[in-house]
A and B are shown apart, each in its own frame.
Chain A
Amino acid sequence: MVTRFPETPSQTGGPYVHIGLAPQQAGFEIFGNNFGNDLVADDTVGERITIEGRVFDGSGTLVRDALLEIWQANASGKYAHRLDPQDKQLDPTFRGWGRTGADFDSGVFEFRTIKPGPVEADGGRVQAPHICVVVFARGINVGLHTRIYFDDEAAANAADPVLGGIEWETRRETLIAKRSERDGKVFCTFDIRLQDTPDGGAETVFFDI
């Protein structure tokens, strides 16, 4: 049999994950260039949106020490990566990745980004616009992967192969962000529930990707 080396096991990011991944939030300045939650440059193409949300544990308590990252395609649905074979326009101003911690007081996390375009899937299908999310925190042994979809994309969502692969239709709803406008800005609200919460909040769908 061909040797396959086992993957290095995951461990929790712990409560002080910010020191390494968001040192300014931990309370100090160390790097000249910090990675953050603003994915958009002045000339980035696409509709500006703010993703905002909170993470809740199984008691309904805010997870104030969560660290989140997102990965997404640009406005044309193209990933800034050499393995994306789609014949679509790259946006040189858009890496498609960002990172932030939930606020230590309010528990709110925020990303300033653009709404991604649809990405091709196999069998000639198309994935609805979506943003990949991973959540790390104290108490989470292996980073939890989920996806954000958009409630103004009902038709595309209905045809999405990943959403459609969730057998329990009622659970699909946990992946749909709610769009609203405040002060002329578009917000997409996406709360994450690590377990069903006592107030009736349903556990978010998490993926083994």
Chain B
Amino acid sequence: MTIGEFVERDATVHPPALTPGYKTSVLRSPRNALISPRNTLSEITGPVFGARELGEKDNDLILNFAKDGLPIGERLVVHGYVRDEFGNPVSGALVEVWQANAGGRYRHKKDQYLAPIDPNFGGCGRMITDSNGYYVFRTIKPGPYPWANSTNAWRPAHIHMSLSANGWAQRLITQLYFEGDPLIERCPIAKTIPTVEQVRSLIAQEDPANHIPFDARTYRFDVTLRGRRATFFENTLPGAPR
């Protein structure tokens, strides 16, 4: 048995490109259908990242930008497993996260929201999944923030997450929401996803058994990436000896 192509992406679990409720998508969505070639070596391979490229505090957003004190806000641990569609752990994946501070303000040149910057909070982190596909980071719970989709649109609290795993075809950027947030069901970005079940899969669950007493609460968020087909017989994978 050797390693085969990725199973084709199930487009029905993802947002379509054109979602007029999320206005920016109108001029930024292709009008033509995507073209679906079979995977070649170019899609089944992908960049490899090593733990040694990362710094010690890269997964600790509470400390990785702290200057003269701790950031203000709810202390959280977020953890979970990255697996593929068949339930296999995805190890060695680069997980990158970014978010607003406790007041919903981003540390970004272009963010003009009047809520203040927290001098001790940067808002980004990164880590590599272990051999079980497990990741963990520590942070401050982000606040909701207003945006100009309509005059009174507010994003639910969310953390952006990027995954670079073992093949270029698995590349994924998504957003993690928090259990119980009433803004989720009103959010035009969350609602780009066609099914309620799939929106639910982006909601991190409170994990009280793993709260750290007198320190931090914990949320659990698992991610599923595309899986590879096994090839038992003739392997026509591009480049393979035949």
Which residue numbers of A lie inside 8 Å of B, CB to CB?
A: 3-21, 23, 26-28, 30-33, 57-59, 61, 63, 65, 69, 71, 73, 79-81, 83-86, 95-97, 104, 119-123, 127, 130, 132, 134, 136-144, 147, 161-162, 165-166, 171, 194-196, 203-209
Q: Which residues of A are found within 8 Å of B171, using beta-carbon distances? A: 69, 134, 143
User: How many angstroms from the CA of A205 to the CA of B35 in the assembled complex?
Assistant: 7
User: How far in angstroms is the closest Cβ of chain A from B203?
Assistant: 11
Contact A57 B15 (CB under 8 A): no
User: How many angstroms from the CA of A86 to the CA of B9 in the assembled complex?
Assistant: 26
Q: Does B202 belong to the interface (CB within 8 Å)?
A: yes
Beta-carbon nearest neighbor of B42 in chain A: A132
Q: Does B24 belong to the interface (CB within 8 Å)?
A: yes
Q: Which residues of B are found within 8 Å of A12, using beta-carbon distances? A: 22, 24-25, 173, 175, 189, 192
User: How many angstroms from the CA of A134 to the CA of B109 in the assembled complex?
Assistant: 24
Count residues on chain B whose CB falls below 8 Å from chain A CBs.
93
Q: Which residues of B are found within 8 Å of A71, using beta-carbon distances? A: 42, 45-47, 168
Contact A141 B15 (CB under 8 A): yes
Q: Which residues of B are found within 8 Å of A58, using beta-carbon distances? A: 26-28, 31
Cβ-defined partner of A121 (8 Å) among B31, B40, B199, B241: B40
Contact A209 B30 (CB under 8 A): no
Contact A206 B98 (CB under 8 A): no
Q: A18-B108, A132-B43 are in contact. Are A208 and B55 (CB under 8 A)?
A: no
The CB with the most chain B CB atoms within 10 A, among A28, A123, A142, is that of: A142
What DSSP secondary structure best describes chain B's contact surface?
A: loop
Q: Does B178 belong to the interface (CB within 8 Å)?
A: no
User: How far in angstroms is the closest Cβ of chain B from A12?
Assistant: 6
Contact A194 B122 (CB under 8 A): no
What DSSP secondary structure best describes chain A's contact surface?
A: loop
Q: Does B172 belong to the interface (CB within 8 Å)?
A: yes
Q: A9-B193, A81-B48, A141-B17 are in contact. Are A166 and B225 (CB under 8 A)?
A: no
Contacting A at CB under 8 A, from B167-202, are: 167-169, 171-175, 189-190, 192-193, 197-199, 201-202
Bits for B1-27, please: 1 = Cβ < 8 Å to A, else 0: 001000111110111110100101111
Q: Which residues of B are found within 8 Å of A32, using beta-carbon distances? A: 55
Beta-carbon nearest neighbor of B36 in chain A: A208
Q: Which residues of B are found within 8 Å of A204, using beta-carbon distances? A: 30
User: How many angstroms from the CA of A154 to the CA of B223 in the assembled complex?
Assistant: 42
User: How far in angstroms is the closest Cβ of chain A from B129?
Assistant: 14
Q: Does B130 belong to the interface (CB within 8 Å)?
A: no
Contact B124 A20 (CB under 8 A): yes
Beta-carbon nearest neighbor of B11 in chain A: A208
Q: Does B226 belong to the interface (CB within 8 Å)?
A: yes
Contact B239 A119 (CB under 8 A): yes
Contact A206 B35 (CB under 8 A): yes
- A-B contact list, 24 entries, CB within 8 Å: A6-B197, A6-B201, A7-B225, A8-B223, A9-B199, A11-B189, A12-B25, A14-B175, A15-B110, A16-B110, A20-B125, A58-B27, A58-B31, A81-B47, A83-B44, A120-B41, A132-B42, A140-B28, A141-B22, A162-B37, A194-B28, A195-B27, A195-B28, A203-B31
